[in-house]
Structure 1
Amino acid sequence: MSDKKKQAALQIGKRIEMFVDDYLIDRMEKAYLKLTPPEKKEIVLRMEKPWEGPGSGIYSCVFKDKDTFKMYYRGTFDNSSDQSQGQSCCYVESTDGIHWERPELGIHQFDGSSANNIVMLGHIAHNFSPFIDQRPGCAPHEKYKAVAGYAPEGLFAFVSEDGLHFKPFREEPIIRKGAFDSHNLVFWDPNHNCYMCYSRYFASNQEPNIEAPRDSAIFLGVRAIQNCTSNDFENWTKPEPNVYDKGVPLEHFYTNATIPCPGAEHTYLSFPMRFMPERNKVTEHEKVGVSDNVFMSSRDGFKWNRPFLEAWIRPGLDFKNWTQRSLIPAWGILETSPEEFSMYINEHYYWGDSYIRRVTVPRHRFASVHGDYSGAVFTTKPIMVEGDSLFINFATSAPGSVRVGIIDETGWPAAYYSAEDCDVIYGDELDCKVSWRGDSDLTPFAGKVVRLKFELKDADIYALRFGS
């Protein structure tokens, strides 16, 4: 293979590459990309305190700080408007991501008592979104930062030393262009060595089939996601809309929950709540609209791939989830075990029994290349081999199987490493070492460009990596 073609080869090093898009894929025969819905688990937090009315439990943020999982979520005791003073940001913590406790913080008064878990009170708490600043050299008294905002003023910033007592970063907004009445997010991104902000704006309504009640916000356009960056958290670039492939439908994205994937941080994942303002399934409910959520990914945080237009989580049989603003994913992916990612959604929004539920995804299994029982094949683009073994994240049925063949630089199956030479793989493993005639050593291919040919029978390939 020529030097020019070698330069065109993908250089993935020893990264985990998930099959959430076609980045690695060259050809597929009867195989296809398949979205993996999460598994619903237990209810972890019921909105049952006096300061947690029916509008509570949304716009949540979760992350780990040392040995403690932390969650921030919206509380309401007066939800008459987005700028009502009867709103709060509440805090809970956990050691396992399942059992959460409300500490009595003693920071803010509610009904004459400070025995509550409120960290921010007033209209600015409507969508208060904290995060740990991972920027190298970040000052200890600004270890925690947060953003919150509303129209038309803009997005405001806050800092804290302990994640509980926040003060304004500055008096004026850090970003002014946008809608900001939803869940706005900021995090430090080591891929670009800057802060990334994802917030909401209103795109022009170009879809003639989108009809909505005469709501002033809706008639501004379609809710959509914008992004901007900053090197210092104070000076930000002009917000730009997320970019999608041609033909991707324009839908109301109410939130975004954008985050680099743990263990594969070069891939950005986003879980927007998708809103249908014109639908009214439960007519006795006081507010119209239905919602679910979707999944999309990006290699740079700006251009987004949406091969899956279906819902990531459907409302299901529970009629109380067929009303507006349920199923909003929290921002954050917790590694609650070596095999499991935990995420969180709200359910029963604006009913009397609203709550937050945990959902789980096996590690790096957000999507797969799937082949059914009749058999399927897919081949990767040219990849530079760095590492002495190939590992795959896969699952099959009992009669299902996976075989992997190596196509060398000549374009032919490598001797002793063809799919026919591959030891048959079956079962369900997150990190399985591939072998050929009992040998997994790939050092003969180190520094060379190969293609991988996968033969699937009732099987899914979720991710791969080269390693030792």
Structure 2
Amino acid sequence: MKITSLLCALGLASSLLASTPTVPDIGSRRELFVDRFLVETMKGVNLQLHHPHDEGEVLRFDQPWEGQFAGYCTVIHEGGKYHLYYRGKEGGADGSREVTCYATSDDGQKWVKPKLGLHEVGGSRDNNVILTDRGITHNFSPFLDTRPGVPAAERFKALGGIIGNNASTGGLHAYASEDGIHWKNLYNRPVVTKGAFDSQNVAFWSPLENCYVCVMRIFTKGTVSDKEWRPTGLRSMSRSTSQDFVNWSDPVPMKFLPAQEHHLYTSQTHPYFRAPHLYVATAARFLPKKAALTDEEAAGLKVEPPTTSRPKTSPTACCLPPATVRPTTRLSARDSSGRAPAFLSGSPAPAIQPERCPDRTGGDVGVCQSGLCPAYRPSAPL
């Protein structure tokens, strides 16, 4: 009887231990409540996204070479200084009349466009243009390379390039710079060739995976190449990795939980700056044929209605396609298997100043201490 009772007690204890959930060991690392990784149950509470509030205009895209379709901004904080990179585009097809522009700031609020004299644009070198390479400047996206032992001449790196039209570069080219202003093409050939690339494609050094990671634009169906451009399905993301920034793995489409339902125009994926084991994406959802403003609202803001074939915008607005909405959603990932949308509401939603983005908003790359992008500061920093 005693032996039977002891066996029953041991069996009950084993059953209880087996049913007890394993508590993740996070040590002393910072964790963000952007997913349910650390949450077993929730009752009477929910995850709440804090929205940024308007801190006032800090930078106006008002120069001829910036055009009406400036965008794809990247913010880098390095050595007490903020670097801002963005595309200037006067109009035309992808790869046409595009340049990469640069601005700098000491505090993330007061920005200066230095007259660098590097490239002649419109008959003058009196500008802040740092790159004019055809096709590359459509989506040139830099980052600060934090890999241990990286050469000083390659502290800043970038990818850029397109396929499928007469400005094709054959894929993404690798660039490097010592100061973030003077750039060189490292190999004079594309290093990533499998993808659609017709948007901003981002890269970074991952201390979590001990490799470079590139998150790029793909379509879930159809064919995209220099020979045939027939994309169908949804705009989505795939990822590729590299140990040396030149040899990249075959891209793997990202998985989403729940399954992806909308176009994802940009990913803006990067390791969170105070918790680099966590990748955060301020991705932009693309909703075709859904306008953020009525014709009357657009007229009141002195921008052309979003139903026009190519709406004009104020000098501070970004590139706007016809009749679309692009609210920003937050995605998070803890490994290479996929990502989950923690917050589906826009941030900002759809824009702090509608006259800047009458059709859509798009996230910028780079979460810095001063905010999510030059014009915004979060009301409750993470």
The normalised TM-score by structure 1 is 0.67
Question: Counterpart of 2:348 in structure 1: which amino acid?
Answer: I
Whichever residue aligns with residue 23 of structure 1, its letter is F
Aligned pair in 2 of structure 1 residues 254, 316: CA closer, same or farther (>3 Å)?
Answer: closer
Secondary structure class of the residue paired with 1:24? coil
2:78 is matched with: 65
Aligned to 1:31: 45
1:159 to 176, 194, 209: 176
Contiguous gaps of at least 5 residues in structure 1: 206-215, 337-341, 345-355, 365-468
Corresponding residue for residue 422 of structure 1? none
Q: Show the counterpart of 2:380.
A: 362
2:266: which partner in 1?
Answer: 255
2:334 corresponds to 1:299:
yes
C-alpha change, 1:134 and 1:319, in structure 2 (3 Å) is closer
- Contact in 2 for aligned 1:257/1:272 (Cα 8 Å): yes
CA shift, 1:278, in A, is: 2.4
State whether residues 207 and 277 of structure 2, in contact with CA within 8 Å, keep that contact through their aligned partners in structure 1: no
Give secondary structure in 1 for the equivalent of 2:219: strand
- Give the deviation of 1:304 after TM superposition: 0.7
Contact 1:294 1:313 in 2 (8 A): no
- The code of the aligned residue for 1:241 comes to P
Matched residue type, 1:236: W
Deviation digits for residues 422-449 of structure 1 (CA, Å, limit 9, x no counterpart)? xxxxxxxxxxxxxxxxxxxxxxxxxxxx
SS of match in other structure, 1:125: helix
* Contact 2:329–2:341 (CA under 8 A) maintained in structure 1: no
Q: AA paired with 1:171?
A: N
- Aligned to 2:343, the other structure's residue is in SS state coil
2:189 counterpart of 1:172: yes
Summarize the alignment of residues 317-336 of structure 1 with structure 2, pairs less than 5 Å apart: 319-320=354-355, 323-324=358-359, 326-336=360-370
C-alpha distance in structure 2 between counterparts of 1:76 and 1:322, whole Å: 16
Structure 1: distance between partners of 2:352 and 2:102:
30
Structure 2: gaps spanning 5 or more residues: 1-12, 165-169, 223-227, 296-304, 309-321
Q: Distance in 1 between matches of 2:379 and 2:246?
A: 35
How far the C-alpha of 1:184 sits from its partner, in A, is: 0.6
Q: 11, 19, 22: which is aligned to 1:8? A: 22
Distance in 2, Cα, partners of 1:293 & 1:217 = 27
Letter in 2 for 1:327: T
Q: Does residue 220 in structure 1 map to residue 249 in structure 2?
A: no
Which residue in the other structure is 1:103 paired with?
114
**Cα distance change of structure 1 residues 316 and 235 upon mapping to structure 2, 3 Å threshold:** closer
Match of 1:385 in 2: none
Q: How many angstroms does 1:321 deviate by? A: 5.4
Cα pair 2:146 2:205 within 8 Å, conserved: yes
Rate the CA distance shift 1:99–1:157 in 2: closer, same or farther, 3 A.
same
Counterpart among 244, 252, 271 of residue 282 in structure 2: 271
Output one character per residue of 1:32-86: Cα deviation in whole Å (capped at 9) or x when no partner.
Answer: 2222222232221111112111101x11111112121100001123x210021x1
Question: Under a length normalisation based on structure 2, what TM-score does the superposition of the two structures give?
Answer: 0.81
Secondary structure in 2 matching 1:279: coil
Return the alpha-carbon distance in structure 1 between the equivalents of residues 60 and 175 of structure 2: 27
For residues 324 and 100 of structure 2, the distance between their equivalents in structure 1, rounded to whole angstroms, comes to 25
Counterpart code for 2:381: R
Partner of 1:406: none
Amino acid across the alignment from 1:38: P
Alpha carbons of 1:136 and 1:7: their partners in 2 closer, same or farther (altered >3 Å)? farther
Asked whether the equivalents of residues 40 and 360 of structure 1 are also in contact (C-alpha less than 8 Å), the reply is no
Structure 1 Cα separation of the partners of residues 349 and 229 of structure 2: 25
Q: Does 1:75 align with 2:75?
A: no
Cα deviation, 1:252-291, whole Å, max 9, x if unaligned, reads: 1110111111212221111111111122454534322222
* Paired position in structure 2 for 1:382: none
**Structure 1 match to 2:350:** 315
RMSD value over aligned CA atoms? 2.4
Aligned position for 1:451: none
Asked if structure 2 preserves the Cα contact closer than 8 Å seen for 1:44 and 1:98, the reply is yes
- Structure 1, residues 72-110: CA drift from partner, whole Å, max 9, x if none? 001123x210021x1111000000000000111110012
- Preserved contact between residue 221 and residue 231 of structure 2 (Cα < 8 Å): no
Deviation at 1:318, TM superposition (A): 5.3
Once the 2 structures are TM-superposed, how far is the Cα of residue 302 of structure 1 from its aligned partner? Answer: 3.8
Q: Could you tell me whether the CA contact under 8 Å between 1:156 and 1:175 is conserved in 2?
A: yes
Matches within 5 A, 1:407-446: none
User: Residue in 2 aligned with 1:353?
Assistant: none
- Output aligned runs, 1:176-195, within 5 Å: 176-195=193-212
| Matched position secondary structure for 1:141 | helix
Match of 1:343 in 2: 372
- Structure with greater strand percent: 1
How far 1:5 moved relative to its partner?
8.4
Change (3 A) 1:64 1:307: closer
State the distance in 2 between where 1:11 and 1:249 align: 30
User: Structure 1: how far apart are the matches of 2:354 and 2:381?
Assistant: 30
Q: Name the amino acid aligned to 2:153.
A: H
Which letter maps to 1:362?
A: A
